[in-house]
Copies of this chain bind each other. A is one copy, B any other.
Amino acid sequence: MKKVLIVGLGLIGGSILKGLQTQFDTIYGLDRDEQIMKTCYDAGLIKNKSFSLDYLKESDIVFVCLYPEAAIEFIREEQVHFKSGAIVTDVVGLKVAIMDEIRNFIREDVYFIGGHPMAGREGRGFAVSSEEIFRNANYLLVVEENTPYGCVNTLEKIIIKLGCKRIEVMDAKSHDDIIAYTSHMPHILSTVFMSCDRFDNTKYCVAGSFKDMTRVSDINAQLWSELILDNKDPVLNEIKRFKEALDNIEQFIESEDVHKVVEFLEGARIKKVNLGIL
A34-55 residues with Cβ-Cβ distance < 8 A to B are none
How many identical chains are in the complex? 2
The verdict on A250 contacting B245 (CB below 8 Å), with A210-B186, A213-B186, A216-B212 known, is no
A1 within 8 A of B: no
Binding stretch for chain B, among A58-66, A100-108, A256-264: A256-264
A72 within 8 A of B: no
Contact call A235/B253, Cβ cutoff below 8 A? yes
Min distance, Cβ A112 to any Cβ of chain B, angstroms: 21
A237-265 residues with Cβ-Cβ distance < 8 A to B are 238-239, 241-243, 245-246, 249-250, 253-254, 256, 258, 261-265
Binding stretch for chain B, among A84-92, A143-151, A268-276: A268-276
The one of B199, B208, B229, B239 that contacts A178, using a Cβ cutoff of 8 Å:
B199
Starting from the known contacts A221-B263, A232-B256, A236-B253, 14 additional A-B residue pairs (CB-CB under 8 Å) come to A168-B201, A170-B201, A182-B199, A186-B210, A187-B209, A189-B246, A192-B242, A192-B268, A195-B271, A202-B275, A212-B213, A221-B262, A228-B261, A236-B254
Interface residues of A (CB under 8 A from B): 118-120, 137-138, 140, 166, 168, 170, 178-179, 181-183, 185-199, 201-219, 221-222, 224-226, 228-229, 232, 235-236, 238-239, 241-243, 245-246, 249-250, 253-254, 256, 258, 261-269, 271-273, 275-276, 278
